[in-house]
Chains A and B, each alone.
Chain A
Amino acid sequence: MSGRSVVKLDRNSGIATAEELGRRLEESFQNGAPTSIDASEVERVDTTTVQLLYSFMRSMGELGMDVSIVQPSESFIVGAQRLGFTELFKLEGSK
């Protein structure tokens, strides 16, 4: 059983790097360890990012694995809220 994985999001998390993020998340999923998503450096977030994150969170949840978003940047919080993901990402209390 491995320790907690960390997936750090790019500053510009968008469709251009979506494939890559998808791969990283899938890998984490294969590893089956609880994961922290480091959103501290994020300056931009779009639909592909939130989709991938939530898909990952849900698949992990089915395995009983915990995923949490840590140190979300202001931009991340605003961007996620704009797309309706505040609750789903448990970003309450922020903004």
Chain B
Amino acid sequence: MSIDLSQFHQVFFEESLEGLDVMESALLNLDTENCDSETINEIFRAAHSIKGGSGTFGFSTVAEFTHVIETLLDQIRAGDRRIEPAHVELFLKSVDCIRQMIKSLEAGDAVEMSDANDLKSKFQAILDGKELAAAAPVPASTAPTAPASVSDTDAGSSGGAKTWHIYFKPDGDVLKTGNEPSRMFRELEDMGVATVVVDTADLPGIGVIDPETCYLKWNITLVADVEKAQIEEVFEWVIDEAELRIEEVAQVAVTENPEQNGAKPSSVKQSKVEPSDIVQTTVQSPVAEVSVSPAPSQAISAPAAKEPAAQAAPAAKKAEKNKTEVSSIRVGIDKVDSLINMVGELVITQSMLGELSRDFDISKLPKLLEGLEQLSQNTRELQESVMRIRMLPISFTFSRFPRLVHDLSKTMGKKIELKLLGEQTELDKTVMEKIGDPMVHLVRNSLDHGIEMPEDRIKAGKSDTGLITLNAYHQGGNIVIQIIDDGKGLDKEKILRKAVEKGLVGESDKLSDEQICDLIFKPGFSTADQVTDISGRGVGMDVVRRNIQELNGSVEVESFTGKGSTFTIRLPLTLAILDGQLVSAGEHTYILPLISIIESIQTNMDMVHRVAGGCDVLRLRSEYVPIIRLYDIFNIKPESYNLEESLLVVVEGDNMKVALVVDDLLAQQQVVIKSLEENYKRVEGVSGATILGDGTVALILDISGLIKLAGVRKDEYKKVKQGGDEAA
């Protein structure tokens, strides 16, 4: 019964991807002028491991491809070849290629061979280009071949028992490495009928014998239906430390003479068998069987031919599969232990409360309150502990940037250094997965529009190498991620001009520097004279902001002309919990995400203006903000219809500001977000719900949804702005 190896595949995929990261990192750090041998070894070992594993688990395409790379790396590592920058680029591309192959295998898709084949031929060209005394020929394929084709065949071996004569004289030290002739003889016995004759001629007396040295030699006659190679295989481990002669003879002859007087003297092999024969034999059998064992994804076996089809059909599937972020998480054992402790404490508190409740009377009240306080603390600690389990260091996301910066700076012809700070700062796994793309976009933006060309930098009195810094740290209940560049900064005049052009801003409007910089996040805004491929088509800063807001986060930019820009992203540490502001409208309690609140004010009728079309606006310093009455939208009865008795909470959503009318501001607290969709259905304007301490359900409001509900559309918003000017 064969073993199902597929249970180890996931581990292999994960460790291979990690190995590829190591390879990539080492390649990026490699200085081809002063080649560090340890770095080369690291790269070689990573490739070697992937090759070995993929071969073992039957992923022959990966094994073949990696083999070529490994061969070249081996030459470099042995000093037979100098490594050149061109090689490094090819290796980096191979890393991408293998990564893609592994991901395809993981997702169960067909492995695309076009890039791999292209790279393989480039590597092969390098290998062939220089005349090498390279020893073993590169075995091109590990595909199953016909049963063991032996190089040194004895004449007419078509089956049926043969008689073999074997002379075996091991070197004295053969026993000292754990080899034992009786094991080998037993294997011969398993093949057929073996007759063993020992020659003790060289055996010394008991006074001088070294107990651990071998002094014996043997003549063995074996009658079996086997080929010579099979017999050689039995002795393969000791072939270099023994005299071994194997001959086929016509009759069974048991003598002590090493010289056989039987037939076929021509097939006598005088000395040791060539190692290459042995190698071949050994190679065939394990390889042939590997491909027979359960092939992980049959898709692999039909690569190149299926390319177009493979791309079309599973395209949709692939899009989904790409999102199969590995649904497992590695957790430090310290976090697990902490969790176990918390639960332990919780159990203690619970049983204590249980006890109390048994015959409860009012005198026990203080104890009960104490117990409840304890319970609340336990729950809080447990909650923190559990949240920490989903947290991983941001280094996982940061790690893609060295390569990105390396490639982009090469493409753009700029010199850029990347500095990573706060890599160990932790954040929720899901948040981290979703912040990756926005971060990439911001970094690309800095590389493209921020950092100047080396000549320009020198002219500006800076060093020719630009610096991009990624910095992450905790602040309050949030994680802050900064993307800092020392480039030329945002061109505020250009931005202002563009904004006026697009009608986002009035010509005579006075905007602070902050507000001007913030304009880049407005939809459709792009001051790039051409949408460069590098920054991506149609993906503007507004999308970046929206994506970040979807994570209940925020992004801002600060910039100084000539000095550089800093993008600051703020994210909650977890998606499941929200810092909320409780507000009341009538009898109902609603929750606003704290991060969306700009300010709240007591209504002053001087600030409120009515605009043509029936919309009320609030004049907030230099802005006009539409007023939305919650009780209107939700059709509830407020405490007061009088605006003066209500509070206005100015919030931001969907790149717009609005003022919400509420009756009162209540507490601020962390709430656990429960999905409304899962429990009821999707409701516009509501992003979720939570259960408050008193057991009531409070709806968490979604600002952009509210804005839609209120019918305040973007053009209306603009009208308001203009109308506001008139009203003033």
* Contact, chains A and B (beta carbon distance below 8 A): yes
Contact (Cβ within 8 A) B200 A54: yes
Say if the beta carbon of B206 comes within 8 Å of chain A: yes
B186 within 8 A of A: yes
Known: A19-B211, A25-B206, A51-B203. A88 touches B186 (CB 8 A): no
Compute how far the CA of A46 lies from the CA of B214 in the bound complex, rounded to whole angstroms.
11
B203-A84 in contact (CB<8A): no
- Interface members, chain A 21-36 (any B CB < 8 Å): 21-22, 25-26, 29
Task: Assess whether B216 is interfacial by the CB under 8 Å rule.
Answer: yes
B200 touches A26 (CB 8 A): no
Q: Find chain B residues with CB under 8 A from A51 CB.
A: 203, 209, 211, 214-216
- Count, chain B residues at interface, CB 8 A: 24
Query: What's the least CB distance linking B154 to chain A, in Å?
Result: 25
CB within 8 Å for A82 and B200 given contacts A26-B206, A51-B209, A51-B214: no
Q: Is B518 an interface residue (CB 8 A)?
A: no
**Which residues of chain A are within 8 angstroms of B216 by Cβ–Cβ distance?**
47, 50-51, 83
B205 at the interface (CB under 8 A from A): yes
Q: Digit string of B218-239 for contact with A (CB within 8 Å is 1, else 0)?
A: 1000000000000000000000
Could you mark each residue 46-67 of chain A with 1 if its beta carbon is under 8 Å from any beta carbon of chain B, else 0?
Answer: 1110111011101110100000
Say yes or no: A55 contacts B185, CB within 8 Å. Answer: no
**Residues of chain A with a CB closer than 8 A to B185's CB:** 82-83
Judge whether A15 is part of the interface by a CB distance below 8 angstroms. yes
Secondary structure of the A contact surface, majority rule: helix
B283 within 8 A of A: no
A52 to B180 CA separation, bound complex (whole angstroms): 15
Q: Is the CB of A85 within 8 A of B206?
A: no
Given contacts A47-B216, A83-B181, A88-B198, contact A52 B207 (CB under 8 A): no
B182 touching A46, Cβ below 8 Å: yes
Other-chain residue from B182, B197, B207, B209 in contact with A79 (beta carbon distance below 8 A): B182
Chain B residues contacting A52 (CB-CB under 8 Å) are 206, 209, 211
- B332 at interface by CB-CB < 8 Å: no
A69 is an interface residue with CB less than 8 A from chain B? no
The chain B residue sitting closest to A56, CB to CB, is: B206
Give the interface size class of chain A: 20 to 34
Closest residue of chain A to B199, judged by CB? Answer: A84
The CA of A56 and the CA of B215, in the complex, are separated in Å by 14
A56: B residues at CB distance < 8 A? 206
Q: Given A83-B198, A88-B198, are A47 and B209 neighbors across the interface (CB < 8 Å)? A: no
Contact A82 B196 (CB under 8 A): yes
- Contact, CB under 8 Å: A19 / B206: no
The listed residue (B196, B198, B211, B215) touching A21 by CB distance below 8 A is B211
- In the assembly, what is the distance between CA of A26 and CA of B196, in Å? 28
Q: Is A9 an interface residue (CB 8 A)?
A: no
| CB <8 Å contact, B203 and A59 | no
From B180, B197, B207, contact of A46 by CB (8 A): B180
Task: Assess the A15–B206 pair: CB atoms within 8 A.
Answer: no
- In the bound complex, do residue A83 and residue B212 qualify as a contact, i.e. CB atoms below 8 Å apart? no
Give the residue name and chain of the B residue nearest to A20 (CB): B211
Within the assembled complex, what's the spacing in Å between the Cα atoms of A26 and B207?
6
| CB atoms of A83 and B207 under 8 A apart | no
* Contact for A82 among B189, B205, B206, B211, CB less than 8 A: B189
Closest chain-B Cβ to A84's Cβ sits at a distance in Å of: 3
A18 at the interface (CB under 8 A from B): yes
What would 14 more interface pairs be, CB under 8 Å, given A47-B180, A58-B200, A58-B205?
A22-B211, A26-B207, A46-B175, A47-B175, A51-B216, A52-B206, A52-B211, A59-B205, A62-B205, A82-B185, A83-B196, A83-B198, A83-B218, A88-B198
Q: Across the A-B interface, give the 10 residue pairs with the lowest CB-CB distance, nearest first.
A: A84-B198, A22-B211, A18-B211, A84-B196, A59-B205, A59-B206, A56-B206, A55-B209, A55-B206, A82-B182
Q: Which residues of A come within 8 Å of B, CB atoms? A: 15, 18-19, 21-22, 25-26, 29, 45-48, 50-52, 54-56, 58-60, 62, 79, 81-85, 88
